[in-house]
Amino acid sequence: MIDGVVRTLRPELPFDRDGVIASAGNPVEEVVEELMAHPYFSAEPPKSTGRELFTPEYVAALVARCRELRDDCPDQDIVATATSLTSRSIAEAYRRFMPEPVEEVLVSGGGSKNLALMDMLSSAIAPITVRRFDEVYFDGEAKEAVAFALLAKLFIDGQPGNVPTATGSGGYRVLGKLTPR
């Protein structure tokens, strides 16, 4: 969603590189509060979303609402608002849905390179430590390849590769299929 806001405001940019735009702004907190009221944010896991919820219309409404509440609202404030919404929604999900105490959160993907998002998330979930996955394990860009290698190893060993409480499945299952040439 942050990327969509950046592309809407500055079509020449694909995303907020290093969180520079958001870092130069101040979130419109009233908009963050209003958007946090969306039912998706309070829905219980497992859940996933992307562009089917955070549509161009959603982004346009966020931009319009920021400009409605702040005359001459700069792009930096609007990007900071989207970034704050992202960090607040993650922090709220941790508070509501994590069943056990967490001491450290490892972030990967594009968001881990957004310093404004990482700073906001660190503040929102303090005293929990927030670090980049790459700092602890391996290059996060290889994470999916490593996950599929692990699933293949589990399949070969006849071990389950799912977590029923995370996926909603009825039990543990061996995942995958071996298809000879």
| Residue ranges of domains in the chain | 2-99, 139-181
The string of DSSP letters for the chain reads -HHHHHHHH-TT-SS-GGGHHHHTS---HHHHHHHHTSHHHHSPSS---STTTS-HHHHHHHHHHHHHHSTT--HHHHHHHHHHHHHHHHHHHHHHH--S--SEEEE-SGGGG-HHHHHHHHHHHTTSEEEEHHHHSS-GGGHHHHHHHHHHHHHHTT-----HHHH--SS----------
Residue 36's pLDDT is 97
Decide if 21 contacts 84 (C-beta within 8 A).
no
Residue 81's pLDDT is 98
- As beta bridge partners, residue 106 has 131
Residue 59's pLDDT is 97
pTM of the model: 0.85
Topology (CATH level 3) of domain 2-99? Nucleotidyltransferase; domain 5 (3.30.420)
Residue 100's pLDDT is 81
The string of DSSP letters for 73-121 reads --HHHHHHHHHHHHHHHHHHHHHHH--S--SEEEE-SGGGG-HHHHHHH
pLDDT (tens digit, 0 to 9) for every residue of the chain, 181 residues total?
A: 999 999 999 999 999 999 999 999 999 999 999 999 999 999 988 788 888 889 999 999 999 999 999 989 999 999 999 999 999 999 999 999 988 888 999 999 889 999 999 999 999 999 999 999 999 999 989 999 999 999 999 999 999 999 888 777 899 999 999 998 8
Residue 50's pLDDT is 80
Residue 169's pLDDT is 86
